[in-house]
Structure 1
Amino acid sequence: MKKEKILDLVIIGAGPAGLTAGIYSSRAKLDFIILENELVGGQIRETPSIENFPGFDSISGADLADKMQEHAEKAGAVIDEFGNITSVKLTDTEKIIETSDTIYKPKSVIIATGSKSRPLPVPEEKKLRGKGIHYCELCDGAMYDGKDIVVVGGGNSAIDAAIFLTKYAKNLTVVHRSEKLRAEMRSQDELFKHNNVKLLLNTQIKHVEGENSIENIVLENSKTGEKSSLKADAIFVYIGTMPKTELFKDFIDLTELGHIKTNENLETNIKGVFAAGDVREKEIRQLTTAVNDGSIASLMAEKYIRNS
């Protein structure tokens, strides 16, 4: 029989938003737990170098995640890493979060589940995921030392990944569907210092050929419709993210893209339920905005708990 715990607060997700919420909730002396079904730190663990977070000229995502986790735990946060949530019930009057071994009944909930990589939209993606199609340069880049590598995307994540992968690639090609890259110019300048880097704009991958590894890529020019082929050993994909909101869709109002709708106080349509970080609807998604969300969500949750 599962044990039952009544708490002030459950924070779902231990990325930057969730960990920051944990730090503030500890200082407020709330009785709470952070549930994380994957590694603590979220997507920033996959970032080779972070250069726009105040206080650090440059720091790896893994190191920053470790520092955030250490800070939260020293403040008093309890983190259940790999605490898989099996079901939730969220109403104005009742909140139930069920894991494999515990049923939590908090007064308030902060959803900070973040997002996951958007998959490469080709029919062969599932077959070749992990066999040439990848989403983490830190995890898988070394597998392709001296090989031909393709990076898909034009934002900061794509270009930062491409910079990292230049240390392995014999030839590196950046494929982007639009007319220009969206990444910061400083990153673009750094990438194109390398003479083995090629850029293909207005281009999309339509098919990836191969059975147990990539043999060939079929490209299409988005303006002319002209098709071409490209030899490559690996594709690293950075074409955006999807919010992790599947658990909450029956209770929480979502946008068409699946993000959680909130007001400026990060309140959802359910009383006592807040959302923070990349999972919620907003214009800018950065590490600094996630941390900001975490602090606001915790402060507003505390106010709700004290007045309930």
Structure 2
Amino acid sequence: MAVKKYDVIVIGAGPGGMTAALYASRANLSVLMLDRGIYGGQMNNTAEVENYPGFKSILGPDLAKEMYASATQFSAEFAYGNVETVTVAEDGMKIVKTDNGDFATQALIIATGSQYKKLQVPGEKEYSGRGVSYCAVCDGAFFRNQDVVVVGGGDSAIEEGAYLTQLASEVDVIHRRDQLRAQKILQDRAFANEKMKFTWDTIVTEIVGDGKKVTKVKTHNKKTGEDSEIATHGVFIYVGLLPVSGPFQQLGITDEAGWIITDEKMATSVPGVFALGDVRKKELRQITTAVGDGGIAGQNAYNYLESLKD
């Protein structure tokens, strides 16, 4: 199969990737967005977005559709593909090998985002999809009128826990600390929600089931040392993020944890390779910050290609 060339290839079609594609295609560049899943990234797993300017409130999947329409209005293309390797040729061309063909570009933008960390406890893998979930919007309806637990104390845990109260009979938030890390407005709503309860200073040590579905979690209180059990039908896990950067680590552009290092132009240490959004080492990971990164990356990809003409 012949290698198809584009001026710019964007790997990842979340909010940042789509913005980069918009900026690059608007500059009359040929642009390909590659993603292993549907466009929108984690927005598709978000029930409600309240902090994106222009919308008082909008469903995550609806915002993804709006962004995709913008991203493709200047002829940017979208294709499904799981990236396997990225190599840089002697002439600076970046070769992107995927399970859906190979592509080449002089300007590569990495926008692969992050994924939820696993608890790495017994039963988690066994009952994944059978009571263990990392997406309340995707799986919450399976637990209508049932008790569930949410593991975590950040924004995602509290937002998704609040969403689950619309479906579940009770949501028990299990957090390893004695206070939440979520934004104060989210905390205030959670504490006022009669269907949410909180188990503090506690970690989940095992997820237990009957062979078909989850029935309980085993826990350990870090302060008292007490081991106990909580009966539940569902376990929703939000304990942090990991960068999706595996195919790019051989380029030498990540830190020890796998986050991609860039400058303020979103440029990595490899000429013509840019990174943006949640996969980048940065302070705040939000839709708004990803969009800002995307505009910068798209513009600087254009600037890089112009510099090659000199």
TM-score interval, smaller chain: over 0.9
Q: TM-score, normalised by structure 2?
A: 0.95
Q: Secondary structure of 2:187's partner?
A: helix
Q: In structure 2, what residue type is equivalent to 1:266?
A: M
Cα shift at 1:183: 1.2
- Residue in 2 aligned with 1:126? 125
Partner AA of 2:85 in structure 1: S
Paired with 2:94 and 2:62, the residues of 1 have a C-alpha distance of: 34
C-alpha deviation, 1:103, in angstroms: 2.2
Does the residue aligned with 2:162 lie in a helix, a strand or coil?
A: helix
Q: Determine if contact 1:91/1:270 at 8 Å carries over to the other structure.
A: no
Matching of residues 1-308 of structure 1 within 5 Å: 2-80=1-79, 82-90=80-88, 93-210=92-209, 211-308=211-308
Moved more, 46-55 or 89-98: 89-98
Identical aligned residues as a percent: 40
What displacement does 1:91 show?
Answer: 5.6
Aligned AA (1:131): R
CA distance in structure 2 between the partners assigned to 1:209 and 1:177 by the alignment = 19
Instruction: Give per-residue Cα distances to partners, 1:74-133, cap 9 Å, x unaligned.
Output: 2321111x2222332136723101233432121110000001111122122110111111
Report the alpha carbon displacement of residue 293 of structure 1 after superposing the two structures with TM: 0.5
Query: In 2, distance between residues paired with 1:83 and 1:101?
Result: 5
Q: Per-residue deviation at 1:26?
A: 1.2
What's the secondary structure of 1:284's corresponding residue?
coil
Q: Return the offset for 1:7.
A: 1.9
- When the two structures are aligned, how many residues end up with a matched partner? 306
Aligned-partner residue type, residue 159 of structure 2: D
| Structure 2 CA distance for aligned equivalents of residues 6 and 185 of structure 1 | 48
- The CA deviation string for residues 118-167 of structure 1, in whole angstroms up to 9 with x for no partner, is 11221221101111110111111011111111011111111110111001
Q: Is the 8 A contact 1:91 1:271 kept in 2?
A: no
Q: 1-side partners of 2:84 and 2:278: how far apart?
A: 22
Specify the SS of the correspondent of 2:73.
helix
Name the CA shift for 1:292/1:220 in 2 (closer, same or farther; >3 Å): same
Within 1, Cα distance between the matches of 2:93 and 2:72?
28
TM-score, normalising length from structure 1? 0.96
Q: In structure 2, how many angstroms separate the alpha carbons of the residues matched to 1:34 and 1:215?
A: 42
Cα separation, partners in 2 of 1:24 and 1:193, compared to 1, 3 Å: same
**SS in structure 2 at match of 1:242:** strand
The one-letter code matched in structure 1 to 2:57 is S
Check whether the contact 2:133–2:237 (CA below 8 A) recurs between aligned residues.
yes
Q: Which moved more, 1:270-279 or 1:210-219?
A: 210-219
1:256-298 deviation per Cα after TM superposition (whole angstroms, max 9, x unaligned): 2210011111111211000000001011111111001001111
Does 210-219 or 55-64 show the bigger shift? 210-219
Helix, strand or coil at the partner of 2:3: strand
Unaligned runs of 5+ in 2: none
SS across alignment from 1:266: coil
**CA shift in 2, pair 1:189/1:91, >3 Å:** farther
Q: Secondary structure at the match of 2:62?
A: helix
Alpha-carbon distance between aligned partners in 2 of 1:123 and 1:259, rounded to the nearest angstrom: 27
SS in 1 for 2:157: helix
Alpha-carbon distance between aligned partners in 2 of 1:192 and 1:169, rounded to the nearest angstrom: 17
SS of alignment partner, residue 4 of structure 2: strand
- State the AA in 2 paired with 1:228: S
Deviation of 1:307 (Å): 0.8
The residue matched to 1:228 in structure 2 has which SS?
strand
Distance 1:125 1:201 in 2: 21
RMSD: 1.3
Deviates more, 1:82-91 or 1:45-54: 82-91
Contact 2:111 2:275 in 1 (8 A): yes
Between the aligned partners of 2:99 and 2:162, the Cα distance in structure 1 is 41
* AA of the residue aligned to 1:256: E
Indicate if the aligned counterparts of 2:22 and 2:76 stay in contact, CA closer than 8 A: yes
- 1:73 and 1:62 map into 2 onto residues whose CA distance is 17
